[in-house]
Amino acid sequence: MTFRHSVVALALSAASIAAPSYAKEAVDLLINDATILTMNADKSVYQHGSLAIKGNKIVAVGDRSLAERYQAAQSLDVDGDIVMPGLINTHTHVSMTVFRSLADDVPDRLHRYIFPLEAKLVSRDMVRIGANLGNVEMVKGGVTTYADMYYFEDEVAKTVDKIGMRAVLGESVIQFPVADAKNADEGIAYAEKFIQQYRHHPRITPAFAPHAPYTNTTETLQKVAKLSEQYNVPVLTHLAESHREQEKIAERSGGKSPVQYMHDIGALNKHLVGAHMILVDDKDIELVKQSDMGVAHNMSANIKSAKGVSPALKMYDQGVRIGLGTDGPMSGNGLSIIDEFNQVAKVHKLVNHDRAAMPPVKVIDMATMGAARALHMEDKIGSLEVGKLADVIVIDTKAPNMVPMYNPYSALVYSANAGNVRHTIVDGKILMQDRQMLTVDEDAIRDEAIQFTDVVRKTVIDSGEEVL
């Protein structure tokens, strides 16, 4: 170490003697000695590379020679660790962390268990407490941006603003009475107010979130589609997820698939992000591609609910905008995208009966650039390139499960877990350093969530349902 430092010092002094007028460019943060996975179009990888951040942007990324061109206010020497774009969770309901591990294997769970539970328990407090906890879990798992669908999204927005993450937050629209709206029209009105409040926030993109086609009327879905065009905001929804949805939409539309139906009513467009997309055929995939909509692929939630495996690999290969998601923490049950990698790679191999299907580089692409494309944010995030926003994570490669590392993509997909994330940077700001949260009080957030479990437990017991 001493020897290496002295060599660097010698080299620097030699350079300053040779070129005394040479001035180093000032940057805010410089990451050195990294295994950089840029996830750019060429999938460039730099060994012992450097990455420079100024303000909230990446100003340089490349080999070790870069380090000598910059004078940094702060440096992180990561000793060969993986530096990669922040992960993007394209579909969740973050506040549902407070319900995690409840009734995991109850049949017809959404309609028989979750909706009634939410009718009793969703409140501003519950949304805030759950979002705070989920945000910490995501930052500690390397997620820098997420797309959320829930109620009281203005409360979620406050937690995102505080912790410093990036998010697309969709206010729910659903046809039956919920905690923050008596009907779909009230849900739309709530969403419009929220959109007007947050549309110029630098890290938060407000959105509409009609729950699903079958839990809303055609008129509501069309109204949301029109308003999303007017406000130029995303529409997050569950689409082609279940047989129940398929049957209800077929009844309503004279036998159409959910995707065909959404297309025919004018709701399948570039603003839409459809979560799940399990029950889609080749004709549906063609419509999805033509519409330029995004897709959120939630493998662990889908296999746990036994609903099926989305043809996500086929969609990816055909150029559909598709990224990975976890679904809510009552479904997946985690919020970490790293913990999706393994299942995404292996289940697609299994269903295709092909060991070579879904190689690690595709999984990582879906978790970064693919997800950025799904949210139509690929010009800002998803890869480590000059001019992009500085959403960057560092993965510990010295943890026992990461040694040795012949292929960083394989190590990430088949060996890594959320606990291997060492530093998380969003918008140029370090939110977690050496696993310590810097912008929020992790202990206080966890304690508040634990206290809330008493409320949940009592409500569930009073309703006569099983707690576990």
Contact residues for Zn ion (CB under 5 A)? 327
Give the shortest CB-452-to-Zn ion separation in angstroms: 21
Q: What is the dihedral of CA 37, 376, 440, 81, to 10 degrees?
A: 0
Q: How far is CA 349 from the centre of its chain?
A: 23
- Listing DSSP states for 6-53 in one string gives HHHHHHHHHHHHH-TT--PEEEEEEEEEEEEE--STT--EEEEEEEEE
> Which residue, 203 or 238, is less far from Zn ion as judged by CB?
238
Give the shortest CB-296-to-Zn ion separation in angstroms: 8
> Which residue, 291 or 326, is less far from Zn ion as judged by CB?
326
Angle between helices 124-140 and 442-462 (to 10 degrees): 130
> Which residue, 327 or 427, is less far from Zn ion as judged by CB?
327
Q: Are 289 and 254 in contact (CB under 8 A)?
A: no
Give the shortest CB-140-to-Zn ion separation in angstroms: 22
Q: How far is it, in rounded angstroms, from Cα 211 to Cα 237?
A: 5
Name the residue with the smallest CB distance to Zn ion.
Answer: 327
Q: How far is it, in rounded angstroms, from Cα 208 to Cα 150?
A: 10
Quick check: helix, strand or coil at residue 272?
strand
> Which residue, 93 or 422, is less far from Zn ion as judged by CB?
93
Please list the residues that pair with 209 across neighbouring strands: 172
Give the shortest CB-79-to-Zn ion separation in angstroms: 39
Give the shortest CB-325-to-Zn ion separation in angstroms: 8
Q: How far is it, in rounded angstroms, from Cα 371 to Cα 242?
A: 23
Give the shortest CB-371-to-Zn ion separation in angstroms: 15
> Which residue, 327 or 340, is less far from Zn ion as judged by CB?
327
Query: Pairing state of beta strands 45-54 and 25-37?
Result: antiparallel
> Which residue, 327 or 396, is less far from Zn ion as judged by CB?
327
> Which residue, 154 or 327, is less far from Zn ion as judged by CB?
327
Give the shortest CB-86-to-Zn ion separation in angstroms: 21
> Which residue, 43 or 307, is less far from Zn ion as judged by CB?
307
- C-alpha to C-alpha distances, 163 to 261, 354, 375, 418, 438, nearest whole angstrom: 39, 42, 21, 18, 9
> Which residue, 328 or 428, is less far from Zn ion as judged by CB?
328
Among candidate residues 379, 377, 348, 378, the one with its CA nearest the CA of residue 362? 348
The two three-digit tokens of residue 222, written as one number: 């069309």
Give the shortest CB-3-to-Zn ion separation in angstroms: 54
Task: Give the sign of the dihedral formed by CA 26, CA 31, CA 36, CA 41.
Answer: negative
Q: What is the dihedral of CA 359, 356, 274, 259, to 10 degrees?
A: 160
Give the shortest CB-433-to-Zn ion separation in angstroms: 31
